[in-house]
Structure 1
Amino acid sequence: MSMKTFDNIWDAISDTPEEAENMKVRAQLMNSINNWIARHKLSQADAAKALGVSQPRISELVNGKISFFSVDKLITMMAHAGMHIVNIEISETAAA
């Protein structure tokens, strides 16, 4: 029996390439927010106030519950704290 290989973890755990890309973006946004919380040495309660959400939502965020967050919600949280997306890189795959 051969084992299927994937280019990245997102391809392995998602059903479609579109879902994999969405998960990748959400993971990057969540990582940025987590880094912001750590840099500011915020408790979950203080982070929740700054990001405009409840403390349990911050717990879900820091515990990597990616399915609990949409791209829109993560961007809204970032905006509450004055964070901005500076750069988005897009590459195209070769046509099949």
Structure 2
Amino acid sequence: MTRSRDRRTPAGEIGSNNVFADLGLPNPEERLLKSKLVSKISDVIEKRRLTQAEAGKLMDLPQPKVSELCNGRTETYSIERLYRLLTRLGVTVSVVLEDQPGWKTGTVEVMGISAKEGHR
């Protein structure tokens, strides 16, 4: 990955908002999306005050797999499977497809809306 000089500041280099891209890892958009989905899974488990075993029963996963997920081990999980795990925990997953002006390269975004903010 080539970095331009205009991304340097006295404090260091400005990142791209995707640490996986900044590190030059393959499939950075997918890695970032998975990390955000797993972060939400962990947040829901915490907010609902579930044990990993209780969360595992809801998601149909053994407790050790829940632990792996909560520790960022996503290699064996597809994005679709992470969506299903979230829905089993009580999270609605919505996918919005939006054409970009001039057909420039699109982005993948994860937006969280809590029940407190008026969602449903």
Partner residue of 2:42? Answer: 34
How many residue pairs are counted as aligned between the two chains?
Answer: 90
**Structure exhibiting the larger radius of gyration computed from Cα positions:** 2
> Matched residues, percent identical?
22
1:30-70 deviation line (CA, Å, top 9, x unaligned):
01110000001111100100112111110111111132322
Q: Choose between structure 1 and 2 for higher RCO, CA contacts under 8 A separated by at least 6 residues.
A: 1
User: Partner letter of residue 68 of structure 1?
Assistant: T
CA–CA separation in structure 1 for the residues paired with 2:72 and 2:99: 26
SS of 1:26's equivalent in the other structure is: helix
Partner residue of 2:25? Answer: 14
More helix by share: 1
Aligned in 2, Cα 1:9/1:79: closer, same or farther, shift over 3 Å?
A: same
User: Partner letter of residue 53 of structure 2?
Assistant: A
Please tell me whether the aligned partners of residues 53 and 77 of structure 1 are also in contact (alpha carbons under 8 angstroms). Answer: no
Q: CA deviation at 1:88?
A: 5.2
TM-score, length of structure 1 as denominator length: 0.74
Map 1:1-96 to 2 at 5 A.
Answer: 6-7=15-16, 8-11=18-21, 12-15=23-26, 19-86=27-94
CA–CA separation in structure 2 for the residues paired with 1:57 and 1:91: 37
Which 4+ residue blocks in structure 1 deviate beyond 6 angstroms? none
SS of 1:66's equivalent in the other structure is: coil
Structure 1: state its 5+ residue gaps: none
